[in-house]
Structure 1
């Protein structure tokens, strides 16, 4: 037997070894595994609509699958018709004119996130990351060699950071601000005034903005969704906008997102994608084209259902002793502060962190929630209300019975 004398010190690369599993997907997978084992688990973990993709979108995909031209490679940047439709949709929704040549269609919103950071960051560049944040952002920053700098805003600030906080976090290494409104995980929506103030701060200090607009159509109570470039058009040369069809059209599994911004950055991101994945699946692109150009009534129907569920889950969560529950104005998440529960005895056990509390809730009440540690500081839980009303009542009812 030959024994190597030149064994590397590490099997997995340092960068990939440092990546953490997606906490939201892990919770969802655990809930589904317990269900498959016969446990009556109710899962509030997954951030995806529970509706089927509208029929006219599915039919467009079926027709595309039968067309041999879609059985071949297509431009890595995306089908020209889809990029033109994205430009038209962007102008109609936000008033921002975008050259279709400066749009890159990606394999879901996550690929847009990774490619945006990879296009802008060098080793040691800092990214100001408002917290609570979507669990993928810091991992994408680190993978690109950047350093996430968390700026936390709690329930008392409705989970929205101030310009003063951003300025206090800015250093000579700051290159990017991540901006997400409506927010995952909190459902917070920045006002037009807040958005403009943040954009003008970034413009003044030469800070790039990556703005994630994936939940743009999911706002409630008449609250408008302000667009960063609509509020501060002069920021266009230092802004990347991320979006996709997943949340608006119940198309999480189709994997179609996009990004747009300055030509040189989009060119760099396109080059990266040409080596990573080439084009997004042509059938999915055909479905996305139909989503953007076809019947839009599903947007209203989905939003009305989410709004009803939002009101239901907030009302029920506020019945839990020790929960503080700000009213989310967008997306489909509730993000209660649970600090009033920590340290109490629960079914003979004591949770000192929201992660421990989530474990107790899963094991004692068979309800899966995502702990705040996945999104920043401990002391919070995220519950998606993209689920049936009866499941919301049953799931939160179990939490009430356990914690009250």
Structure 2
């Protein structure tokens, strides 16, 4: 298996900037960015990020808001916060060098078994498995493994299988497995005719490729009607730093008021003006008037779907115009802040003009 796979990888691997180096900083950064995000999207973000934060020391010394701003648009912002914390620990505890010990890597913020394995194998060529969803799919089909990949207990079994096949060239073997799963052994349309190990694949032999891997049903996403409140006063719009209790915590954004929908097929409805104004008065002590309601497209998170309405509210002399977690900003200056994509993608020119 390993010989065929390595030969195939050397001929067919995709060109990616992080494959041009064995520096653990760049390997780590790319692996964090690639979590839940497609390669084609990551490449531009990666190149911009390393241009700004060229090494772990520069990342550690950066302000968190600056890191979040450069992460803007990638989503899953906890990755960026953990990335920043991890860099600070590496600089303060390990003199700016990534530890080469698996257990020490697992103690760092945002690094789990897969990322630790990827760093050790790709950066240092250590014989350590790096088992992600692609690898699980390849092995599930190759061996017809009847274990649920959504069960955390299954990871150890997959890791032992990978270790049993791993050659001395761990660096390229792990990457070859991931590449095979990404471009050949895909979830719905596996390209078995071009797979280098298809002749020994048990699922291929029994024509049961799509039965593997075994995975329990995903939890249904929750759907919410969400009012995004654009408070305007004297040509400025209010943004707030979202606190730890809110989705998208630590980012700057607009206040939101959400009501859970009873069903994802329920018609999205704007929350009543009386309800909204009562909530605004209670939470912000503002007096104001709703000027415009603009239904916009929904935004999908991992576990949640927002059906959004942008609501412009004219505020009359707010009691507190500015304090640390709130800023009143000229609309054209919103770009300077790390706004979540959920808000940013809906700020059309039409809406921005209404805020002035």
TM-score, structure 2 as length reference: 0.29
TM-score, structure 1 as length reference: 0.27
Greater RCO, 1 or 2 (C-alpha within 8 Å, sep 6+): 1
Tell which structure's C-alpha radius of gyration is larger: 2
